[in-house]
Structure 1
């Protein structure tokens, strides 16, 4: 069940929101819904820190943190793809080292393919 929620934002935030929604071919409502879903799912300390950075207009730290989060997300995707491949037992044989390399290469290919879809 969905609920309608109303929020007031300043003009600068509204402009950024409309730009993001347009660049991602999404409605403003969909972008707001996604933002709220992500925000409420974060631990309170992370939410507070992000709001603090925004209030301080600390764009350098925001950009740096975004890059670090993307790197962490890529690592997690790679680990998940590797575990998924390992669970399929598609790579086997007597040479365990080459099997691990094969799995890593396949996981990297899956991760790249997934990143291109997003």
Structure 2
């Protein structure tokens, strides 16, 4: 069940929101809905810190945190994909890739094998 909410934002935020929605080919309503979903899913300490950075207009730190979050997300995706592939037991190597080193070695072996086939 969905609920309709109303919020007031300053002109700068509204402009940025419209730009983001446009760049992502989304409606403003969809972008707001996604933002709210992500925001309420974060721990309170993280929400508070992000709001503090925004209030201080600390764009350098916001950009740095964004890059670090993207790097962390990429690592998590790689780990999940590697674990999923290892669980299929289709690629040889250790069947119980339980450590990150094992997973990285298997990923390297798969990459090298793919490069040699080309």
Same-fold call, TM cutoff 0.5: yes
How many residues align structurally? 103
Higher relative contact order (CA 8 A, sep 6+): 1
TM-score calculated relative to the size of structure 2: 0.81
2: CA distance, partners of 1:50 / 1:71: 18
1:102 to 95, 101, 109: 109
1: CA distance, partners of 2:58 / 2:74: 25
Which runs of structure 1 show a deviation greater than 3 angstroms over 4 or more consecutive aligned residues? none
TM-score calculated relative to the size of structure 1: 0.81
| Structural RMSD (CA) | 2.1
* Contact kept? 1:21, 1:31, Cα under 8 Å: yes
Q: In structure 2, do the counterparts of structure 1 residues 102 and 10 end up closer, same or farther at CA, with 3 Å as the change threshold?
A: same
* Contact kept? 1:91, 1:102, Cα under 8 Å: no
1: CA distance, partners of 2:27 / 2:2: 16
Displacement of 1:89:
0.2
